[in-house]
Structure 1
Amino acid sequence: MSIETLTHEISTLKDTNILVSASAGAGKTTLLIKRLMTRIMNDRISVNQICALTFSEAAAHEMKDRLKTELLKVYKSCLDESLASFIKEQLSLVDTAMISTIHSFALSLIKDFSYVLNLDPEMSRNVLDDGTKQLLFDECSDSVIQNAIKNHPEDFQSLQSLVSTSAFDFTDIKKVIQEIYQVRRLQLNPEDFDLKTLMLHQDPLSIILPILSEEFSHKLIKALVGCEEVIRLGSMSGTKMNPVFDLQETLNKFLTQVNEGELLEVVRAIHGEVWFQGIPKIKDHPSYSKAKSELQECLKSLSTSFDDIEAHLNDVSSLVPHVRLVIELVKELTALMQSKKEKLKVIEFDDMERLAYNILTHPDFDVPAFYRSRFSDILVDEFQDTNDVQNEIITLISNGKNVFRVGDVKQSIYRFRGAKPQLMRSMIKNQTPKVYVLPHNFRSSEPIVMFNNLLFNILMNVDGFSDEYREDDRVTVGKDSQKLITSPVTYLKVNKSAEEDELIDFEDEEIEDEERDDEEQDHEQEEYFKTKTYDKSADYVKARVITKDIIQRHQEFNVPFKEFCVLVKSHAQKDILKKLFDEKGIPHFINSPQGFLKHPAITQCLMLASYCLFPNDYYLSGVLLSQFTDLSSNDVAQLKLTKNLNQALLEQYPDVHASLNELRNKVLSLSLSQAMHECCKVNDFYQQCDSQGKLNIDALIQKAVDFENSHQGGLVAFIQSLEHLKDAKIAEAMDVALSDDVVKVMTIHASKGLQFPLVYVFNDESTTVHASRDQVIVDSNYGFTLRIKQEYGIIVKNIVRDALLYLEKKAAYEEALRLWYVAFTRAEKEMICVGMNRETVSLSSHLHASTVLKSKGINGLLSGLQAFFPQQLCTIQEIDDPDRSKIVSIEKVIQEDVIALPPSKKEELHPIILLPLDKSNRLKPNEVGSLVHKILSLAIVSSNPIQIVHSLSQDLSEGQKEGMLSFFTHPITSSWQKAEKFSEYPIITQDEDGYHQYYLDLLIKNEEEWIIVDFKTDVVTSLEELKSRYMNQMSSYHHALKDYAPRLKTMIYSIVLKDAIEVISL
């Protein structure tokens, strides 16, 4: 079937549920738009009858934008007046259509039906930020613990001794109940989760026996592979290997028994066997000795797996009282969190799905019936990342035959968010609903496509793992142009120099563990596995190789920097690359997960705000050493030598002292957002910051506004919430466009859905399971368990923990392979994998889970499989670690506005200047702006705008009222009297973060031109300042409408200056 015929059939099929499996680069977004257009144009389904659910806001805005583009194309060529009217109506509905993330859909459902759960409607308008959420979480957790100490002192003390070495430090127990709380709340039925946990400890063997059998069979297979290697190496030397053949026969017998459900019989038999005699010794044969040693380790692991099964079961039963108490603590935490949120009239981000589900399943209200009658079609993008609650919501609002799902199990990499790829996997297996597979890749060159088919046909068809790389996953290129690029994948294996064991220059830097990255920063914090960093030098070696190669390609072949992208697994690797790129002058876009709170602009602003609250020497010294004063470090040191720092400042720099006191008094009298805004104005601080600093300050002010709108706390509470955000590692605000000539470095998670001409893949060298060190192991299907600790703190074996840890390790490695599939499918023209050249064992093309579970990361797998890579698909090069000092730096002059270059020399600073405050205005800055915009939106469409302004502006200052009135008498408005005027006009814009919906303050439509007018209440001294400040914003507005207007002009009207300035006119 041709691709045209296939997509036509998928787009036109009706009255049945459909699942489309779309591999990377298969054109799923194009298919979704085609499906939407077919339903709208052929079946006359209105846009407001469609519910399209995406994984991210950017994807939702892209879908809206592309749908509008397609509708506009048809509209422009339409000759049928009736059809043209219908299309025009659909264009007007797109902006408000239910094309959104599932969280946005859930939030809208809560807003409309909050009464079902007797919720205050105000809750749905206030979503907790991460910092405040953690504050609340800790506060409630502490309360729960204190209640337990008071009400169950003996039971709690017993539990405390189990999870902590200290009787008075409750950090570990708090982590335990918080981790369980996070998993439990994602369950469809949290009470079932509690029951599963209890059953897991009351009757463990009946539940975990299949898991233990699977794990044990993997150990047997691993031992059998070891036997084969020992036999191969021993036979080559002429040694008789009969004892190993006998061992092999015994192991195969055991494997058959285990597969038939006789694990316990095999375990008893193994405990009576002698394993370590009879394996021949061969002198001066290191390879054989190594293989023999590894086999002996496998056999030792088998013989010690269950040395006393009855004792292990009794130990597990001893946990039942502790487990019961933990369940009660988690339930109490859940209830207390909900009570606190209701009191504060807020919700958490993760509450949206749960509350929506609870509304839809309420027995006294048939809310699903409303949505079943409203939506003719339900489309679900990225279905592989859907969790149980989300899937149930989709099912509940469906009529049973109108859900169109698109996804790719091979790209499911959000397990830490509760994603259940098995949902899609099960549908494909059962062929329910109707399943289609897109057969082509339209992104990558043919060698890259064929290499990935070859590699993942091995890595995703692993015996013992759940994922499959089926025949229809083997895609072919979809365009002839992809065949013209013949560059094979390059695998660089770097030889580690003898001196590399000692790190140079960077050895004092803290190397962080890997953390999952999401383009949505406020909800990506939990990690399930991470790259070991004990061999730190390997990352520096790979970074040097990549740095040298980028510079060489740029200088010798004029490859633009924007062509390069480096994909890494950990944020620590990004930091290493950033240091090298800065040193060598490579312009780059690297969004650090902790850059926001560590950026100088933010640290200095918070230091000044903290001084205003607590004027001690610590904060004062920080302020004096910052950009807010012109004192040098030597000046401050001299002050400190004499006496009290504050007193010394008063005596030697009375003007500075007076200015700081005046600022402090002013800040303490202001609201939170006003106070932060005031701090940023001191010494013209904002204007002196570079572009990155300004972006971060803007983000800080917005956080203050959001905090203020949602909570009762002021400046102290806000700074405390930011302290909690340090652990959440909030990324910097970034300002980069696709056209910027910078090298992009990002985690593999952040790259999902993107593509780049040339991709470097930063191979990992080893993977370990994070949960192996945790006090609690939590599994969404089985429940949780704790460590078992006996007298004197001795930790003993917990077979339930071992079983859950095996499942966790298996799931983590399965997802790791899917993560590398995402990485290896981002490149368009060229892909370069960089890893260390280590001694590895050649692998079979038919892998078993036991082999993957002991592999040294993706680099170990690639190295072990390299014999299967033909030269036309993959060239393998062994290279030496480049000498860092000999890597040439970029000599060309880089444009100043490119972000992330080394900072320029600090400019001479001015004395502190405190800008005047309009004390007549007691509204918060955001409230002033909101009120002004609201009044103007009403006045613009009124026949008597002057009266509207007078009647609604009682809470504003006279200056603000006059600024609004002056707009209606300004000369520019005289030509607009007969034009169409639209206030709060919705548009979609695209920036570095994707697509965003905004509302234009005023859109004027004449036959000759359209005019965008944006009202600003900023306190400024010139119109040029406003133009400079908002140029990017106005440009995005202009870009969004330029293709629709005969001629387009954008203007800013200043309420403060009572005048307008033209920004763009084309």
Structure 2
Amino acid sequence: MTRFEAMLAQQGTCLDPDQKAAVYSDVNCIVSAGAGSGKTTVLSYRFLRLVLEGKATASEILTLTFTRKAAREMHQRIHRLLLSWKDDPVIAAQLAQFDQAPISTLDSFCSSIVRSSSVSYGIAQDFAIDDEQNLANARQCAMRLLDDEHRSEGAKLISTLYSPEDLIDSVLVPLLTQHYFLPQKVSEDAQRIIIEAVEKRYEQVKESFTSLLLRYSSLGDSSKTVQGVREDAVLLLDGIASSCGEEELFALLASPVGFRKKSGGKSEDLLFIKDTYDSYLEMRRLLCLALAVLNGREQLQSIVTFVQQLVEEYQMEKRKSGMLTFSDVSSLAVEILKENKALRKYFKQRFRYIMIDEFQDNNEQQKELLYLLAERLESEGEGIPKASDLEPDKLFFVGDEKQSIYRFRGSDVRVFKRLAGELTSVGGKSIELATNYRSEPALIEWFNTLFPSIMENNGEAYEASFSSLKTRGANEGITSTATILIKPYEDGERDEEEEEAKDSDAEAYSVACLIRKMLTCDDYLIPSPNGPRRPKASDIALLLRSTSNQLSFERAFRNQMIPYTVQSARSLMLEALASDFYAMLQLALYPEDLHAYATVLRSPFCKLSDASLAQVLDQQQLFSPPAGVGEEDELRLLSTQQFYRSLLQAMASESLSQLVFRLWYESGYYLSLTAHPEYQAYREHYTFFHRLAQKHEQAKHSVSQFVDYLRQNLAQNEKLDDLEVINEVEEGVQIMSIHKSKGLEFPIVIVANASSKGRAQKEKLSTFKGVALPHYLNQRFSVTATKTEVARHAGALFDEGEEQRLELAELKRLLYVALTRAETHLVVSGTFGKNNRALGEGKPADTLLLLMTRSLGLDISNPEFQDGLLTVGRIASISEGSLYQGEGESEQAFLKRLEAVQRWYETASPALEQKPLRYAVTSLVSHEEHSVAADLPLFASDELLMSLEQDLTASFGTFVHALCEQMVLKQELGDVRTCMPSELVKALGERELSIMIEDGLALAAAFIKSGWYQSEVEPYPVAAEVGFFSTTEHEGRKVVVEGSIDLLVDRPDHLLVIDFKTDRRRDAEVHRFQVETYMRAVKRIYQRPVKGCIVYLRDVETIEVWEGVDDDADTL
């Protein structure tokens, strides 16, 4: 028996066979550790064995983790284990040097490598890692290049391809910060590499497409459909044969010619057309994409050159400022170890063993780093070593392919899966820890029936495979449960008598009621050292895929008096605390702000009564009690006045976080809230608000800058990034994202909002052949007779749905992580609506709830089912007031309070003549038609519109405006019906709608193809629907006018205002006031020369541009 085995026996530690095999492994090994299988135990006991058997000292074992929290826990676990054997002389010696044990995150370790050789890359050794500052630097570099008066052709082109609000923050900043890490550059051959790949693909598709057209042209059936397809094929074949070049061929294939509906007959030819028509459409689409890229060679090169310059400037800024990102450090570490063989040798000699936890969350680059460190001592090869070039016993990987859920951070499950094959092929081992010690056996057995079908695959590298889990012994007296709560889709009108709450609120209310039941009955007992007991709120975790509906659950928990804590401050800016604190700080900066003053008076800072509010607002001095005010209100005012004065003095010397502390504690706000049990949850909002103040304090922001930030974000239901707090003790239900829950476990887990499809991200960048670029094309082409698509980049030519498959594969893993957090009881809830049921043949499940219901064979329209531990129940609809009904005050107290203020409310105010103070610009325009108005061309839709009982001419104009704006802004049209006002869709049949669509597209396309648009608009940045407020004289009064400019073109020497009209007659003078009002507003706002024009879409060849306007209005 070895000393290690003797120690285990003496301690009474019993490792299961899988764990023992991993701990005793003395070859390169990859351990697949399922949820709750004891991977930390394996890592710590293997560390102990290596030390006890004299194979390495603590300082020679490099232990790497994915997060700082995991590194701390690993350090503590190993240290405690060594400490329990401190009497052993070998262990005592290692404990004395344990502070030198390299147990850290992979990022931290990479930093130490880079500091050893950073000077070689022009980076000071004292560099800092600051992702926020790098975002700011990236933004500044992008703005510099775009604003340069001598800006490149690429800068000009990219400014026309993206909207101004997207270009910097959604395109160029992500391009720099997520794709080009030091020392990466844009390949000099980028354009050639892309074009060669496109040319090869084009020839392949063209050959198959021509073959299909030849087959169509030879069809002999005499039916009208077959004849039409044959004629189309002959026309296209002739066009392909006679085309003079790529541009002419693109014009042919991009046109609506040659598109038909699928055939429905049963003849041999009709069946052939039916079977091949989807292939015809797809090949034609691919040819259009390829031709668009080939025709856009110059645009591609100009964008490549622009990105090369942008990356160079950004990386120069990194070197000058010494501010790097974690990704920079990881990339540099690999580059340094590849190039600096002496440094590589130092690290190879320093570490005898390397253990890596959670490796499924890493990628190819991080694997390369570890291979470089594990290269044989005598080897000094070029590049990345192969598995056969590694030390045979140095690497020990731990991970679980089923728990790889960080693809958005760059992790790649395929790397972990390939690793086992690489290592075992050269003598390594692959071991699976198959026993789940976390969850009750009944839950594990249920998982074993649920996940095989969910994770079934055909061996794809990006898919995780599930094998049955083994179980531990059950806890006595515990009966596990699995509950699924579903609100089915209800097609029909809601009850108008009592308005129903949103489905998300109904779900939250149902979950809150279930938690209340868990806390007060014996149906959901959990184990404890003293036997089964009822759960406390802190034993429950609410996990969300997306935090978009978090507010509904917070509101429902408050309604049911359930305490909770949150991991992300989703609702902070919607709650009273943020509004009240903003109002007090705003009042301190701007004492004349009556709105802020009124908010403070009614808030817990003062709690002034309704009766006194109006009187106090009339006083000159803030918080001055007027004559006749009640004694209680007078005391409140004087107390608040005293605090307000102390706040003004404190603002001169105290930090932001100190001021927020003062607002919470010294004003009485905290005591006012905690006096009511239902307000306990608001204490956490203060914690987040205080953390927010600390972040602004660290950024050197002043009070006024902080207040500006609050003003812009109040009432926004948005997640505040990187705003996290650490709670010493978790009190209440823990609300967090599924990603945040990874590595944690809870007696009861509720996976809520499981029907969420997540947030759809619009593609704004493309990575093709290893080159990340913005879009460089805007070529529209037809994909059916009525539907168009836009070619933007070469990557679309090769995209065969891989991105969607990767997302769906990760969704399965996300479900596995969520469910396996549960120890004893599990609840899953969600609601089905019109668009999240994945109806239609072959449509994959794209929500957590659908994955489960399909695996279990549940009827989502009738969700009531019971089988063993599983209960499926229906979420009932609730009234909107349900979430706001609490205990409140008694009816007698309410009537007494009402009587006290009755006379004040009943006092009549003198009647006021009510005239609007704000008008739409269009409502002030005279519609008197001039005799000189000229008729414009009519369309088929005009006759149709005139025949309708309801006048829908304006609705048709709105539709055409929307088409024009989407085309100008280079946006996908997709189904153009989504641009139509609902009243137009409802009033027309299918044939009439087709006429409207055809005419609308014709009007919009005429403008886009006009010579005036291509010379005066297309080369310049354009913004659409630019709103503004201005003042003007109307009926002897100064009033506010509100307008929205159709297009605002940013030309070098002036701004151009464009207003679209679909009128049937040209009468520019009727609309001149409207355009000139727009021009005045733009001139005041931008302080630049302005021109304006009306574009009559029925005649885009005659456009009169007006120059200059008198500056006689105030713009707000």
Residues 1:407 and 2:399 aligned together: yes
138-147 or 321-330, larger mean C-alpha shift: 321-330
Deviations 1:912-965 (A, max 9, x none): xxxxxxxxxxxxxxxxxxxxxxxxxxxxxxxxxxxxxxxxxxxxxxxxxxxxxx
Cα distance between partner residues in 2 of 1:377 and 1:212: 55
1:387 counterpart residue number: 363
Which amino acid in the other structure matches residue 408 of structure 2? F
Structure 2 counterparts to residues 776-795 of structure 1, below 5 A: 776-778=765-767, 781=770, 783-784=772-773, 786=775, 788-790=777-779, 795=789
TM-score relative to the length of structure 2: 0.59
Identify the match of residue 866 of structure 1 among 836, 856, 874. 856
Which amino acid in the other structure matches residue 25 of structure 2? L
2:23 counterpart residue number: 11
Q: Alpha carbons of 1:580 and 1:368: their partners in 2 closer, same or farther (altered >3 Å)? A: same
Which amino acid in the other structure matches residue 505 of structure 2? Y
Q: Alpha carbons of 1:661 and 1:802: their partners in 2 closer, same or farther (altered >3 Å)? A: farther
Contact 2:318-2:324 at 8 Å conserved across structures: yes
Report the alpha carbon displacement of residue 384 of structure 1 after superposing the two structures with TM.
0.5
Q: Alpha carbons of 1:308 and 1:604: their partners in 2 closer, same or farther (altered >3 Å)? A: closer
- Structure 1: gaps spanning 5 or more residues: 215-242, 244-266, 281-294, 509-535, 844-848, 894-1066
Residues 1:276 and 2:263 aligned together: yes
1:457 counterpart residue number: 452
Report the alpha carbon displacement of residue 178 of structure 1 after superposing the two structures with TM.
2.0
Cα distance between partner residues in 1 of 2:683 and 2:607: 20
Contact 1:785-1:800 at 8 Å conserved across structures: no
Residues 1:317 and 2:294 aligned together: yes
Contact 1:465-1:810 at 8 Å conserved across structures: no
Structure 2 counterparts to residues 167-178 of structure 1, below 5 A: 169=164, 171-172=166-167, 174-178=169-173
Structure 2 counterparts to residues 209-608 of structure 1, below 5 A: 275-278=262-265, 301-307=278-284, 309-341=286-318, 344-363=321-340, 366-399=342-375, 400-401=390-391, 402-430=394-422, 431=424, 433-463=428-458, 465-468=460-463, 470=465, 473-481=466-474, 487=480, 489-495=482-488, 501=494, 537=503, 539-557=504-522, 559-560=534-535, 561-595=537-571
Deviations 1:1002-1028 (A, max 9, x none): xxxxxxxxxxxxxxxxxxxxxxxxxxx
Identify the match of residue 35 of structure 1 among 46, 50, 65. 46
Q: Alpha carbons of 1:814 and 1:619: their partners in 2 closer, same or farther (altered >3 Å)? A: same
Report the alpha carbon displacement of residue 435 of structure 1 after superposing the two structures with TM.
1.7
Cα distance between partner residues in 2 of 1:610 and 1:841: 43
1:100 counterpart residue number: 104
Give the greater-gyration-radius structure (CA). Answer: 2
Report the alpha carbon displacement of residue 737 of structure 1 after superposing the two structures with TM.
6.2
Contact 2:18-2:434 at 8 Å conserved across structures: no
Q: Alpha carbons of 1:141 and 1:635: their partners in 2 closer, same or farther (altered >3 Å)? A: farther
- Structure 2: gaps spanning 5 or more residues: 1-13, 209-225, 227-252, 376-389, 524-533, 627-633, 675-679, 783-787, 860-864, 889-1116
- Bigger proportion of residues as helix: 1
Deviations 1:40-96 (A, max 9, x none): 222262222222111122211111221122112222xx4xxxx33x42343344455
- Secondary structure at 1:566's aligned position in 2? strand
1:924 counterpart residue number: none
1:123 counterpart residue number: 127
Structure 2 counterparts to residues 789-808 of structure 1, below 5 A: 789-790=778-779, 795-797=789-791, 800-801=795-796, 803-804=798-799, 806-808=801-803
Q: Alpha carbons of 1:464 and 1:573: their partners in 2 closer, same or farther (altered >3 Å)? A: farther
Contact 2:141-2:313 at 8 Å conserved across structures: yes
Q: Alpha carbons of 1:688 and 1:205: their partners in 2 closer, same or farther (altered >3 Å)? A: farther
Q: Alpha carbons of 1:810 and 1:55: their partners in 2 closer, same or farther (altered >3 Å)? A: same
Root-mean-square deviation (CA, aligned residues, Å) is: 5.3
Q: Alpha carbons of 1:374 and 1:26: their partners in 2 closer, same or farther (altered >3 Å)? A: same
- Secondary structure at 1:305's aligned position in 2? helix
Cα distance between partner residues in 2 of 1:613 and 1:211: 67
Report the alpha carbon displacement of residue 403 of structure 1 after superposing the two structures with TM.
1.8
2:75 counterpart residue number: 64
Cα distance between partner residues in 1 of 2:19 and 2:260: 61
Q: Alpha carbons of 1:684 and 1:872: their partners in 2 closer, same or farther (altered >3 Å)? A: closer
Contact 1:769-1:808 at 8 Å conserved across structures: no
Cα distance between partner residues in 1 of 2:871 and 2:641: 66
Cα distance between partner residues in 2 of 1:778 and 1:544: 44
Contact 1:198-1:323 at 8 Å conserved across structures: no
Report the alpha carbon displacement of residue 819 of structure 1 after superposing the two structures with TM.
0.7
Deviations 1:372-419 (A, max 9, x none): 222222111110111333333333333433121100111111011011
Q: Alpha carbons of 1:453 and 1:478: their partners in 2 closer, same or farther (altered >3 Å)? A: closer
1:827 counterpart residue number: 822
- Secondary structure at 2:284's aligned position in 1? coil
Cα distance between partner residues in 2 of 1:792 and 1:207: 19
Q: Alpha carbons of 1:306 and 1:777: their partners in 2 closer, same or farther (altered >3 Å)? A: same
Q: Greater relative contact order (Cα 8 A, min sep 6): structure 1 or 2?
A: 1
Q: Alpha carbons of 1:61 and 1:4: their partners in 2 closer, same or farther (altered >3 Å)? A: same
Contact 1:187-1:780 at 8 Å conserved across structures: no
Residues 1:150 and 2:150 aligned together: yes
Contact 2:142-2:168 at 8 Å conserved across structures: no
Q: Alpha carbons of 1:494 and 1:274: their partners in 2 closer, same or farther (altered >3 Å)? A: closer
- Secondary structure at 1:191's aligned position in 2? coil
Report the alpha carbon displacement of residue 821 of structure 1 after superposing the two structures with TM.
1.4
Cα distance between partner residues in 1 of 2:563 and 2:661: 31
409-418 or 670-679, larger mean C-alpha shift: 670-679
Contact 2:688-2:725 at 8 Å conserved across structures: no
Which amino acid in the other structure matches residue 362 of structure 2? T
Cα distance between partner residues in 1 of 2:813 and 2:48: 32
Report the alpha carbon displacement of residue 330 of structure 1 after superposing the two structures with TM.
4.0
Contact 1:201-1:319 at 8 Å conserved across structures: no
Contact 1:460-1:467 at 8 Å conserved across structures: no
Report the alpha carbon displacement of residue 163 of structure 1 after superposing the two structures with TM.
2.5
Cα distance between partner residues in 2 of 1:825 and 1:321: 53
Cα distance between partner residues in 2 of 1:886 and 1:325: 58
Cα distance between partner residues in 2 of 1:501 and 1:93: 70
Q: Alpha carbons of 1:875 and 1:209: their partners in 2 closer, same or farther (altered >3 Å)? A: farther
Cα distance between partner residues in 1 of 2:113 and 2:261: 66
Report the alpha carbon displacement of residue 574 of structure 1 after superposing the two structures with TM.
2.4
Identify the match of residue 729 of structure 1 among 703, 709, 720. 720
Cα distance between partner residues in 2 of 1:885 and 1:719: 33
1:159 counterpart residue number: 158
1:250 counterpart residue number: none
TM-score relative to the length of structure 1: 0.61
Report the alpha carbon displacement of residue 329 of structure 1 after superposing the two structures with TM.
4.2
Contact 1:184-1:190 at 8 Å conserved across structures: no
Report the alpha carbon displacement of residue 29 of structure 1 after superposing the two structures with TM.
1.1
Report the alpha carbon displacement of residue 599 of structure 1 after superposing the two structures with TM.
5.9
Cα distance between partner residues in 1 of 2:359 and 2:811: 19
Report the alpha carbon displacement of residue 480 of structure 1 after superposing the two structures with TM.
2.3
Report the alpha carbon displacement of residue 671 of structure 1 after superposing the two structures with TM.
6.8
Cα distance between partner residues in 2 of 1:642 and 1:118: 64
Which amino acid in the other structure matches residue 473 of structure 2? D
Cα distance between partner residues in 2 of 1:666 and 1:892: 39
Report the alpha carbon displacement of residue 682 of structure 1 after superposing the two structures with TM.
6.1
Deviations 1:836-891 (A, max 9, x none): 57999999xxxxx9977543523334333334999866646353626569999999
Cα distance between partner residues in 2 of 1:835 and 1:18: 41
- Secondary structure at 1:52's aligned position in 2? strand
Cα distance between partner residues in 2 of 1:839 and 1:146: 45
Structure 2 counterparts to residues 812-823 of structure 1, below 5 A: 812-823=807-818
Which amino acid in the other structure matches residue 651 of structure 2? V
- Secondary structure at 1:585's aligned position in 2? coil
Which amino acid in the other structure matches residue 376 of structure 1? R
Cα distance between partner residues in 2 of 1:791 and 1:495: 40
- Secondary structure at 2:370's aligned position in 1? helix
Q: Identity of aligned pairs, percent?
A: 21
Contact 2:748-2:822 at 8 Å conserved across structures: yes
1:203 counterpart residue number: 197
Contact 2:288-2:781 at 8 Å conserved across structures: no
Q: Alpha carbons of 1:158 and 1:7: their partners in 2 closer, same or farther (altered >3 Å)? A: closer
